[in-house]
């Protein structure tokens, strides 16, 4: 699983951090999301999918495999 984060779309809502805090964090300066783990293991797929779905800016894409 590979995560693609569109920083320009991100609005810093932090929903991804709430859903999967071990995969996402937010920059101090402006709250834009940062990836802690670009290739999380399969066991994180549920949390990561929830993060992608809840992202109000639709800034997260998941590439399976």
Partner 1 sequence: MRDVVVVGASAAGLAAAETLRREGFDGRLTLIGDEPGPPYDRPPLSKQLLAGDWEPERLRLRSDEALAALDARLIYGVRAVGLEPRRRQIRLSDRDQPLGYDGLVIATGVIARRLPFGHELAGVHVLRTLTDALALRDDLREARRVVVIGAGLLGAEAAAVARTMGRDVTLVDPVAQPMHHQFGPEIGAVVARLHLDHGVGLRMLTSVTGLAGAGGRVTGVHLDDGTLAPADVVLVAIGARPATAWLDGSGLALTDGVDCDQTCRAGDSIVAAGDVASWLDHETGRRIRVEHRSNATEQGMTAARTLLGSTLPFRPIPYFWSEQFGVRIQAYGTWTADARVRIVDGAPEAGRFTAVYESGGRVVGVLGWNAAREVRNLRKLLE
User: d(Cα 10, Cα 22) in Å, to the nearest integer?
Assistant: 18
| Cβ–Cβ < 8 Å for 60, 8 | no
State the number of binding residues for partner 1 (CB under 8 A): 19
| Residue 57 interacts with partner 1 (CB under 8 A): yes or no | yes
| Residue 36 interacts with partner 1 (CB under 8 A): yes or no | no
| Cβ–Cβ < 8 Å for 27, 63 | no
CB of 37 to partner 1, least distance (A): 19
Q: Which residues bind partner 1 (CB under 8 A)?
A: 11-15, 17-18, 26-28, 30-32, 49, 53-54, 56-58
């Amino acid at each position: 699983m590979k995560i693609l984060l569109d920083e320009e779309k991100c609005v810093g809502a932090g929903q991804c951090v709430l859903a999967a805090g071990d995969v996402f964090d937010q920059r101090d300066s402006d709250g834009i999301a940062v990836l802690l783990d670009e290739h999380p293991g399969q066991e994180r797929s549920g949390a990561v999918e929830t993060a992608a779905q809840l992202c109000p800016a639709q800034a997260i894409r998941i590439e399976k495999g």
